[in-house]
Amino acid sequence: MLCISSGEVDTYSGISPVGISLFLNTLASYRNQTMIVVTGAAGFIGSCLVRKLNDAGYNDIAAVDDFSKHNKNLNLNGKMLSALIHRDDFFKWLKENQKMVQFVFHLGARTDTTESDTLIFEKLNLSYSKEIWKACVEYGLPLVYASSAATYGSGENGYDDGHSHIPSLKPLNPYGVSKQEFDKWVLVQERTPYFWAGLKFFNVYGPSESHKGRMASVVYHAYKQIMAKAELDLFRSHNPAYRDGEQKRDFIYVKDVLDVCVFLMLKRKGSGIYNLGTGRARTFLDLAKITFASMGLDPKINFIDTPADIRDKYQYFTEARMDKLRGSGYDNPFFSLEEGIRDYVQNYLLLGRWM
């Protein structure tokens, strides 16, 4: 392995991403080994997956992203990679190097649920994902891609990941629509990768998400607020069916997401779309109190109005049905909310650590 500074990184596109200091396999090394592709590799879940793969002994990883944000690129510090590829150059690179690739994780996407420009989602979440799928079909590559629980909308049609149920879902925002449209497109394809899985991520939280800003998890924002003023503002309920703080989500720790990704990579059976939550909804009040406790503080919680731009698109309840994934053979226990927040706060946030 060769340690290369940010100014020395030689990527396929010829760029030198700002802020990356990583271990890069020598060209001779990765040409003689098979690689795993991770799109969105500098992002939250993508960078955590790279770490998980490294820890499992997979060091020949092609990282795909746009590498345009310094604070996001920091997520790749210290990771073992074989190639850095700008997303615009990826399909050309894959055509030239597909014989070395053994698996594709497509986690890259525009994830801002408040974004209203549908053209951005059409380009990055739908069209790009279709090209990934077609390339995996052409080159015989297995694929795991990121879908989202945002496809379920307000949950009026339930949280069932059965394929016959998916076309009836009604997302509340353009992000959710883009994920839903890709899921629907996938389900009518006659040509598919020999193994594929779409993962409907529920509310994922964990290390390496600070670059997401407003879109970072409630756990992250709760920690930052408590550190700043020793109290926390939660959105009050604008739905008479839910008391303030009693809104519920299925919060899943990123380490559980990573375990499922690796399980699917190794198993490669049972293609389909799967929910990925814990199967147990918890309240925002639970989350707040656990975060205070993990920081060794007594809770002080206030309620504020939900911002107007998200109020009519707000999910008051999400809870994944997990029968399908469990039926596929995945039997690892999930982190409880208490366990996950404690690990995140005490082993990462308080120590200023990335994953």
User: Which residues have a catalytic role annotated?
Assistant: 175, 212
Q: For the chain, what is the radius of gyration of the CA atoms?
A: 20
| 134 touches 69 (CB < 8 A) | no
How many Cβ atoms are within 10 Å of 199's Cβ, its own excluded? 24
Structure tokens at 265: 């990579």
| 209 touches 44 (CB < 8 A) | yes
Structure tokens at 81: 């990679």
Cα pseudo-dihedral 341, 342, 347, 349, rounded to 10 = 50
Q: Which residues contact 31 (CB under 8 A, 6 or more apart)?
A: 100
* Beta bridge partners of residue 198, listed in sequence order: 145, 273
Sheet holding 22-24, edge to edge: 2-4, 22-24, 80-81
Between CA 245 and CA 234 the distance in angstroms is: 7
Provide the residue type at 214 as one letter.
R
Report the Cα 131 to chain-centroid distance in Å: 19
* Beta bridge partners of residue 3, listed in sequence order: 23
